[in-house]
Amino acid sequence: MLDQLQALNNIPFSFISILDILIVAFVLYKLMQVIKGTRAVQLIKGIVVLLVATTLSSWLQLHTINWLLTQTMFALVVALPIVFHPELRRALEQLGRGKFFARSLINMGEEDKSRMINEVVRAVQVLSKNNMGALIVIERITGLEEYIDTGVRIDGLISSEFIVNLFVPKTPLHDGACIIRGDRVAAAACFLPLTESQLGHNLGTRHRAGVGITEYSDALTIIVSEETGDISLAHEGVLHRMLDESTLKQRLIESLQPKPAPNLTNFWKRSGGSQ
């Protein structure tokens, strides 16, 4: 028996080694899920760019640039716990509540996406006709977990009636933003950052918050004015006003479509690489 155990230890990839690798891979996967729900993804991309630039500057013997980048990386080691403080706190909270190993989000198919858009447009139409102020945020790639935490978590299947009821005046959840994640309403009564841009004297806090969240993320925001019932759509810090239902639906369909991969053949032809 002892000889058999020693033989197993001499195997480079034993069952224990494979199990060890699988556990580490699973934990890293869950950590990436936690990060995916925040703006930390952009910060990690910046760190990767710095690492690549540092390696290239060393390889090209650009000593001054390499020294500056190296000092920056040393500073980042100290700054990382501060920069990622919200994400670290959220990960520990989820671990303590037993939600760290919860089921991951399921990507939406075209049918579910189409249903979500139809339900949102129907709800906006009712809200607009009744002059009910509303602020609806649709999450895309950049996670909005930190803003979901400011509101009341719901995690309810999306429907036009559900969305309309959230914004009925003088109800507990009408004040704030409703955040949609996939085909579900993730939370309501959420607080959003206000934009510093000048939007016009007749636009208030609801519009400023709607534009503000699109400056911090790639989310889409639908704003319904309480005074006039006008429908607006904010995207990438730009506010598109006075939209009707058909125009809103078309813009949502276009914005929520995945971007096609670049055609390298056409790019090569345009650049004159092929005659």
CA 26 to CA 20: how far, in whole Å? 10
**Planar angle of CA 153, 234, 261, nearest 5 degrees:** 95
Report, as an integer, the average pLDDT of 166-194.
91
Residues of the chain with CATH 3.40.1700.10: 110-256
CA 64 to CA 32: how far, in whole Å? 34
Tens-digit pLDDT profile for residues 109-144: 788 888 999 999 999 999 999 999 999 999 987 778
Task: Please spell the DSSP secondary structure of 233-269, one letter per residue.
Answer: EEETTEEE-S--HHHHHHHHHHHHSPPPPP-HHHHHH
Tens-digit pLDDT profile for residues 64-79: 888 888 888 777 777 7
Tens-digit pLDDT profile for residues 36-91: 555 566 677 777 888 888 888 888 888 888 888 888 877 777 776 776 666 666 55
Q: Which CATH class is domain 110-256?
A: alpha beta
Mean pLDDT of the chain: 78
Q: What is the CA radius of gyration of the chain?
A: 24
